[in-house]
Amino acid sequence: MDSTDEKLLKQPNEELLSAPVPEGGAVQWYCVYTRPRHEKAVAMKCDRLDIDFYLPLRRVTHHYKSGKKRYWLPLFRGYVFGLSAPDKRIELSREERVLSVLEVSDQQTFIDELLQIYRGLQVSCELQPVPYLARGRHVEIVRGPFKGIRGVVEEVKSRFRVMLTATMMNSSVPLEVDAGDVEPIDAG
């Protein structure tokens, strides 16, 4: 593990995420949308600017012929979460690796969700994100024996299982797959 990963894994502490929403909006949480694969660099820029931040990281293990290697990757690709005054947020938005800074309207709900993510990663650093899937959403199966099949989410059975309908030859074939094995696509 390199020193950047070590520093990022120490951010934030639970105290920061458990703090009540600041009154008057002097300091607020926001989402920083980054260029692809620039999350860690943006997080380190936050650190240099004295911006409190949270970059949830998950551990990924890749198996190679020479053995296995572990990496720390962002749980949410393209996002770092920041907490600062508006002047610092504006300064950060000028960073070339930052595509946009998104305001968070419901600060308390956002903090509660970040805290749940933080606690989940404390239990298991190998959590995997899955797309949010709603009934009627067009998806493509990206892993497993049905890879490449497109369909429509018919039923969300649990956070981990999805029932979708694949229409072939003017008939529907129901398939039950893991939520992590599908990705949303445009209906067109």
Residue that terminates a domain, selected from 91, 123, 155: 123
For 34-84, the pLDDT digits (tens) are 999 999 999 999 999 999 999 999 998 888 899 999 899 999 999 999 999
Say if 80 falls within a structural domain. yes
Same domain, 102 and 147: no
Asked if residue 129 is part of any domain, the answer here is: no
Tokens found for residue 129: 């994100």
**Quick check: is 131 in a domain?**
no
- Judgement on whether residues 87 and 11 belong to the same structural domain of the protein: yes
Domain ranges, residue 158? 138-184
Residue 29 lies in a domain: yes
Number of domains in the chain: 2
SS3 87: helix
**How far is the C-alpha of 150 from the C-alpha of 137, rounded, in Å?**
11
pLDDT, tens digit, 9 for 90 and up, residues 120-151: 888 888 777 766 778 888 888 898 888 888 88
Buried b (16+ CB within 10 A) or exposed e, 135-145: eebebbbeeee
* DSSP-based three-state secondary structure for 43: helix
Same structural domain, 151 and 110? no
Residues 85 and 116 in one domain: yes
